[in-house]
Amino acid sequence: MAKILVIDDDPQCVELLKIAFEQSGHTVSAATDGRSGLMAACSEAFDLIITDVLMPEKDGLELIIELKRHKPNVKVIAISGGGILHFEDCLKMAKLFGAEQVMEKPFDLKTLMKVANELISGA
């Protein structure tokens, strides 16, 4: 199965995704901010990275830009519930910066898992 990195400053979101993907047979690592997420992504090979857009230390948009510069083939799903910017603006920017898929929080877990599995399998 796949190696997935979840990057989100919301511990409940991280735990939910970790449990769901591990129950599906994937290996999941987690980071709670963009800086530690980028360090993890650069030190290991991941099949998929799921990242929040608005986070401390390094936001998800900066993270996506750097990920795509250093690991252009990594698949990225950006998630956001908004904040200072409306979530639609955050997600549009994430898509422009290289995220293959974007999803609004709160997301439907089954839909997220379906999208993730499609990206992992290359469908």
Q: Is the peptide bond before 11 cis (omega within 30 degrees of 0)?
A: no
Task: Note the pLDDT tens digit of each residue in 16-61.
Answer: 999 999 999 999 999 999 999 999 999 999 999 999 998 888 889 9
Q: Scanning the structure block, which residue is given the tokens 């999941």?
A: 28
Fill in the DSSP letter of residue 70: H
User: Domains of the chain, with CATH numbers?
Assistant: 3-121 (3.40.50.2300)
Residue 80 near residue 91, CB atoms below 8 Å: yes
Whether 30 and 7 have beta carbons less than 8 Å apart is answered as yes
Kindly provide the residue ranges of all beta strands, DSSP E only, lying in 8-89, ordered along the sequence: 27-31, 48-52, 75-80
Model-level pTM? Answer: 0.94
pLDDT reported for residue 84: 53
Residue range 72-117, pLDDT digits in tens: 999 999 999 865 555 578 889 999 999 999 999 899 999 999 999 9
